[in-house]
Structure 1
Amino acid sequence: MTGVALPLALLANGLAAGVLVATVLGVVPFYMTLPAPSYVRAHAFAVGRYDPFQPACLLITLAADVLVAVAEPRIAVRVLCAAAALAAGSVVVVSLTRTLPMNRWVKAQNPDSLPAGWDMEAFRRTWARWNGTRTWLAVLALVLNSSAAVALL
């Protein structure tokens, strides 16, 4: 089981963490330079591409890590994969409770007729902070999964 599940966890986790790190390094700084209508257009455009991919990778990571944590006889690998599952699960929770509602709100807006009084700067900072939180949780899961793989050597 570990021979299939752990490589799958590493692959899916690496892809999810890579997408999130790329967002922190390139997309968020770009978003911060945009005027409100352009920001809404860019954010809505990106959300439609990242959201189907990144959650699937995280759910695969979570499921694969749980499988290894339950089935693997070596305690170090079990503990590392259980911790990785917890970190990946935390990314899912932050995504579902924080960034996803914000993404849906942005996607529903008309860029040419934004709500009066909308504080775009505060919105962007809040979204960037939560996105950063889930990014580092995904990277933590990847470090834990990588450590589990090394422990098997």
Structure 2
Amino acid sequence: MIDRILALLALLGSGLVTGVFFAVAVSTVPALMAMPPGRYIYAHKLLGRNWDPAMPIIVLTATFAAAGWAIGAASPAVRVSAAVVTVLMLGVSGVSHLCNVPINKRMRAVDPDAVPADWADPRPIWRRWHLLRTALAVGAFLLTSVAATWT
């Protein structure tokens, strides 16, 4: 029974993360890329203020659920799949915390009404890191979905 609960938590968490990241990738990022620097910084601050701690909690819950599922699954195929999901979700967390979050913090420190002349636009690199973590989340969600159907 516990393996089904862990599978459900891994599936729900990886699905939520994938949905949020996909929406950001196809809608929010292109809109932010089209904005002039001051407007971008202002919008970035507004959009980013409610993600923490919600997204880290969801990502880490899904990660720990997948790890527990990998340990307790009866089927070797499900154990291996859940272990790979755990690694993928750790990748999501790692990219978020080590790459995207530091950029977000730097942007929060910039005054949107007084963007420095030498301001280095972080949007292209932020987008690349975001697309990487989105791909990791999609992989985790797909594999979780497949493994959950084997249970």
Residues 99, 131 of structure 1: 8 Å contact kept:
yes
Per the TM alignment, residue 50 of structure 1 is displaced from its structure 2 partner at its CA by 2.3
The size of the alignment, in residue pairs, is: 150
Matches within 5 A, 1:1-153: 1-120=2-121, 123-152=122-151
- State the secondary structure of the residue aligned to 1:73: coil
Percent identity over the alignment is 35
TM-score, structure 1 normalization:
0.94
Residues 24, 132 of structure 1: 8 Å contact kept:
yes
Residues 31, 42 of structure 1: 8 Å contact kept:
yes
Q: Residues of 2 paired with 1:52 and 1:39: CA distance?
A: 22
Opposite residue 41 of structure 1, the aligned amino acid is Y
Q: Deviations over 1:35-73 (max 9, x none)?
A: 111100111111112232221111011000000001112
Per the TM alignment, residue 115 of structure 1 is displaced from its structure 2 partner at its CA by 2.7
Residues 62, 88 of structure 1: 8 Å contact kept:
yes
Q: Residues of 2 paired with 1:54 and 1:139: CA distance?
A: 15
Q: Residues of 1 paired with 2:145 and 2:89: CA distance?
A: 14
- Segments of 4+ in structure 1 off by > 4 A? none
Opposite residue 142 of structure 2, the aligned amino acid is V
Opposite residue 129 of structure 2, the aligned amino acid is W
Aligned Cα root-mean-square deviation (Å):
1.0
Q: Residues of 2 paired with 1:46 and 1:59: CA distance?
A: 21
Instruction: In structure 1, list runs of 5 or more residues that go unmatched.
Output: none
